Structure 1
Amino acid sequence: MTKTKRNYTPRVPATVCPHCLTRSIAYDSVQLDVFTREIRYVCQDADCQHTFVAQLGIFRTVRPSMKPNPAITEAILPHGQWRSKPANDDQRVPANDDQPDAAEVAPSPG
Protein backbone atom coordinates (compact mmCIF):
# COMPACT_ATOMS: atom_id res chain seq x y z
CA MET A 1 0.00 0.00 0.00
CA THR A 2 1.48 3.33 -1.02
CA LYS A 3 0.84 6.50 0.85
CA THR A 4 -0.61 9.27 -1.30
CA LYS A 5 0.82 12.72 -0.95
CA ARG A 6 -1.49 15.43 0.32
CA ASN A 7 -2.32 18.18 -2.11
CA TYR A 8 -3.19 20.66 0.64
CA THR A 9 -1.50 22.26 3.61
CA PRO A 10 -2.54 20.50 6.82
CA ARG A 11 -4.28 22.79 9.26
CA VAL A 12 -2.52 23.04 12.59
CA PRO A 13 -4.36 24.65 15.52
CA ALA A 14 -2.60 27.91 16.29
CA THR A 15 -2.92 30.95 18.50
CA VAL A 16 -0.79 33.97 19.34
CA CYS A 17 2.03 33.96 21.88
CA PRO A 18 1.03 36.26 24.75
CA HIS A 19 4.62 37.57 25.04
CA CYS A 20 5.81 38.35 21.51
CA LEU A 21 2.49 38.08 19.60
CA THR A 22 4.00 35.59 17.13
CA ARG A 23 2.13 32.53 15.89
CA SER A 24 2.20 29.61 18.34
CA ILE A 25 1.27 26.14 17.14
CA ALA A 26 -0.26 23.24 19.03
CA TYR A 27 2.01 20.24 19.39
CA ASP A 28 0.16 18.09 21.93
CA SER A 29 -3.24 17.80 23.58
CA VAL A 30 -4.87 15.76 26.31
CA GLN A 31 -8.59 15.13 26.82
CA LEU A 32 -9.33 16.08 30.47
CA ASP A 33 -13.02 15.20 30.42
CA VAL A 34 -15.86 15.03 27.92
CA PHE A 35 -16.07 18.86 27.81
CA THR A 36 -12.42 19.95 28.21
CA ARG A 37 -9.20 19.48 26.28
CA GLU A 38 -5.80 20.80 27.39
CA ILE A 39 -3.60 21.96 24.49
CA ARG A 40 0.16 22.62 24.59
CA TYR A 41 1.45 25.40 22.35
CA VAL A 42 4.96 26.49 21.40
CA CYS A 43 5.87 29.93 20.04
CA GLN A 44 7.40 29.91 16.55
CA ASP A 45 9.70 32.87 17.28
CA ALA A 46 13.21 31.44 17.71
CA ASP A 47 14.12 34.16 20.22
CA CYS A 48 11.01 33.64 22.37
CA GLN A 49 10.13 29.91 22.27
CA HIS A 50 7.49 30.35 24.96
CA THR A 51 5.70 27.07 25.69
CA PHE A 52 2.29 27.26 27.32
CA VAL A 53 -0.91 25.35 27.99
CA ALA A 54 -4.42 26.45 27.02
CA GLN A 55 -7.79 24.80 27.53
CA LEU A 56 -10.52 24.27 24.99
CA GLY A 57 -13.93 23.79 26.56
CA ILE A 58 -17.56 23.26 25.60
CA PHE A 59 -19.78 25.74 27.46
CA ARG A 60 -23.19 25.88 25.81
CA THR A 61 -25.24 24.48 22.95
CA VAL A 62 -25.71 26.47 19.75
CA ARG A 63 -27.74 23.84 17.91
CA PRO A 64 -29.12 20.78 19.73
CA SER A 65 -27.74 17.39 18.73
CA MET A 66 -29.83 15.09 16.58
CA LYS A 67 -28.31 12.16 18.54
CA PRO A 68 -28.12 13.46 22.14
CA ASN A 69 -26.10 11.56 24.71
CA PRO A 70 -28.34 11.26 27.81
CA ALA A 71 -25.29 11.03 30.08
CA ILE A 72 -24.16 14.56 29.22
CA THR A 73 -27.33 16.34 28.09
CA GLU A 74 -27.97 17.81 31.55
CA ALA A 75 -24.42 19.13 31.93
CA ILE A 76 -24.52 21.33 28.80
CA LEU A 77 -26.66 24.43 28.94
CA PRO A 78 -29.77 24.30 26.74
CA HIS A 79 -29.88 26.06 23.40
CA GLY A 80 -29.55 29.83 23.67
CA GLN A 81 -28.96 30.04 27.42
CA TRP A 82 -25.97 31.66 29.07
CA ARG A 83 -24.58 30.66 32.43
CA SER A 84 -24.79 33.87 34.41
CA LYS A 85 -25.18 34.78 38.03
CA PRO A 86 -26.35 38.08 39.40
CA ALA A 87 -23.71 40.23 41.03
CA ASN A 88 -25.58 39.99 44.35
CA ASP A 89 -25.88 36.20 44.46
CA ASP A 90 -24.71 35.96 48.06
CA GLN A 91 -27.43 36.01 50.74
CA ARG A 92 -25.94 38.33 53.33
CA VAL A 93 -28.04 39.46 56.26
CA PRO A 94 -27.84 43.20 57.00
CA ALA A 95 -25.97 43.98 60.23
CA ASN A 96 -28.95 45.75 61.85
CA ASP A 97 -31.69 43.25 60.98
CA ASP A 98 -32.16 42.18 64.61
CA GLN A 99 -33.10 45.76 65.61
CA PRO A 100 -36.42 47.52 64.94
CA ASP A 101 -36.67 49.98 62.06
CA ALA A 102 -35.31 53.45 62.83
CA ALA A 103 -38.69 55.03 62.02
CA GLU A 104 -40.37 52.99 64.77
CA VAL A 105 -37.98 54.01 67.58
CA ALA A 106 -37.25 57.61 66.62
CA PRO A 107 -39.11 60.17 68.73
CA SER A 108 -41.66 62.18 66.83
CA PRO A 109 -40.90 65.90 66.52
CA GLY A 110 -43.16 67.96 68.63
Structure 2
Amino acid sequence: MKRLAFLLALAVSTPACAETVTVKYRGPVDLKPFACQDTKSSFINRVCYDAANQYMVILLKDTYYHYCEIPKSTVDALLSADSHGRYYNANIKGTGKDGPYDCRTHRVPSY
Protein backbone atom coordinates (compact mmCIF):
# COMPACT_ATOMS: atom_id res chain seq x y z
CA MET A 1 0.00 0.00 0.00
CA LYS A 2 2.85 2.39 0.85
CA ARG A 3 4.47 1.60 -2.50
CA LEU A 4 1.26 2.49 -4.36
CA ALA A 5 0.98 5.79 -2.46
CA PHE A 6 4.61 6.59 -3.29
CA LEU A 7 4.08 5.85 -7.00
CA LEU A 8 0.94 7.99 -7.09
CA ALA A 9 2.75 10.88 -5.38
CA LEU A 10 5.62 10.56 -7.85
CA ALA A 11 3.26 10.60 -10.82
CA VAL A 12 1.49 13.72 -9.55
CA SER A 13 4.69 15.65 -8.82
CA THR A 14 6.54 14.74 -12.04
CA PRO A 15 6.25 17.58 -14.57
CA ALA A 16 4.77 16.77 -17.95
CA CYS A 17 7.17 16.54 -20.86
CA ALA A 18 7.46 19.76 -22.80
CA GLU A 19 5.96 19.74 -26.25
CA THR A 20 7.98 21.03 -29.16
CA VAL A 21 6.37 21.86 -32.50
CA THR A 22 7.90 22.78 -35.84
CA VAL A 23 6.84 26.26 -36.94
CA LYS A 24 7.00 27.10 -40.62
CA TYR A 25 9.67 29.72 -41.39
CA ARG A 26 11.13 29.33 -37.88
CA GLY A 27 11.79 25.72 -36.90
CA PRO A 28 11.31 24.02 -33.52
CA VAL A 29 9.53 25.93 -30.73
CA ASP A 30 9.10 24.58 -27.20
CA LEU A 31 5.53 25.31 -26.09
CA LYS A 32 6.35 25.27 -22.38
CA PRO A 33 5.88 29.06 -21.90
CA PHE A 34 2.69 29.09 -23.99
CA ALA A 35 -0.97 28.75 -23.08
CA CYS A 36 -2.53 26.57 -25.78
CA GLN A 37 -6.17 26.15 -26.68
CA ASP A 38 -7.67 23.73 -29.20
CA THR A 39 -10.47 25.14 -31.34
CA LYS A 40 -13.50 23.67 -33.07
CA SER A 41 -12.70 25.46 -36.30
CA SER A 42 -12.32 23.55 -39.56
CA PHE A 43 -9.32 25.73 -40.46
CA ILE A 44 -7.66 26.69 -37.16
CA ASN A 45 -6.97 23.68 -34.98
CA ARG A 46 -4.95 25.17 -32.12
CA VAL A 47 -3.81 28.55 -30.81
CA CYS A 48 -0.80 28.86 -28.49
CA TYR A 49 0.08 32.23 -26.98
CA ASP A 50 3.00 33.47 -24.93
CA ALA A 51 1.71 36.68 -23.34
CA ALA A 52 5.11 37.71 -21.92
CA ASN A 53 6.55 37.89 -25.44
CA GLN A 54 3.33 38.69 -27.34
CA TYR A 55 4.04 35.70 -29.56
CA MET A 56 1.42 33.40 -31.08
CA VAL A 57 1.90 30.01 -32.67
CA ILE A 58 -1.19 28.84 -34.55
CA LEU A 59 -1.97 25.47 -36.12
CA LEU A 60 -3.68 25.97 -39.48
CA LYS A 61 -4.84 22.58 -40.75
CA ASP A 62 -1.61 20.63 -40.10
CA THR A 63 1.02 23.40 -40.21
CA TYR A 64 2.13 25.72 -37.39
CA TYR A 65 2.74 29.42 -38.20
CA HIS A 66 3.90 32.23 -35.94
CA TYR A 67 2.94 35.84 -35.35
CA CYS A 68 5.04 38.43 -33.50
CA GLU A 69 4.14 41.36 -31.25
CA ILE A 70 0.48 40.34 -31.31
CA PRO A 71 -1.53 41.75 -28.38
CA LYS A 72 -3.43 39.45 -26.04
CA SER A 73 -6.63 41.33 -26.89
CA THR A 74 -6.26 40.25 -30.54
CA VAL A 75 -5.70 36.61 -29.56
CA ASP A 76 -8.68 36.76 -27.18
CA ALA A 77 -10.83 38.21 -29.97
CA LEU A 78 -9.70 35.42 -32.31
CA LEU A 79 -10.63 32.74 -29.78
CA SER A 80 -14.02 34.29 -29.03
CA ALA A 81 -14.97 35.08 -32.65
CA ASP A 82 -18.01 33.38 -34.17
CA SER A 83 -15.75 32.33 -37.05
CA HIS A 84 -12.09 31.84 -36.09
CA GLY A 85 -11.05 31.56 -39.73
CA ARG A 86 -12.87 34.70 -40.81
CA TYR A 87 -11.38 36.69 -37.91
CA TYR A 88 -7.90 35.34 -38.61
CA ASN A 89 -8.08 36.21 -42.32
CA ALA A 90 -9.45 39.72 -41.68
CA ASN A 91 -7.33 40.76 -38.68
CA ILE A 92 -4.17 38.67 -38.36
CA LYS A 93 -3.02 37.04 -41.59
CA GLY A 94 -2.46 40.00 -43.87
CA THR A 95 -0.55 39.49 -47.11
CA GLY A 96 3.21 39.09 -47.17
CA LYS A 97 5.01 41.74 -45.16
CA ASP A 98 1.76 43.72 -45.01
CA GLY A 99 0.52 41.49 -42.19
CA PRO A 100 0.19 43.44 -38.94
CA TYR A 101 2.09 40.80 -36.94
CA ASP A 102 4.50 39.45 -39.56
CA CYS A 103 7.63 38.12 -37.85
CA ARG A 104 9.81 39.39 -40.70
CA THR A 105 9.07 42.96 -39.63
CA HIS A 106 8.40 42.47 -35.89
CA ARG A 107 10.53 41.30 -32.97
CA VAL A 108 10.88 37.51 -32.84
CA PRO A 109 11.41 36.21 -29.30
CA SER A 110 14.29 33.85 -28.63
CA TYR A 111 13.64 30.76 -26.54
Higher RCO structure (Cα 8 Å, ≥6 apart): 2
Q: Shared fold by TM > 0.5?
A: no
What is the TM-score of this pair, normalised by structure 1? 0.27
Q: TM-score, normalised by structure 2?
A: 0.27
Which structure shows the bigger proportion of residues in helix conformation? 2
Q: Specify the structure having the higher radius of gyration (Cα).
A: 1
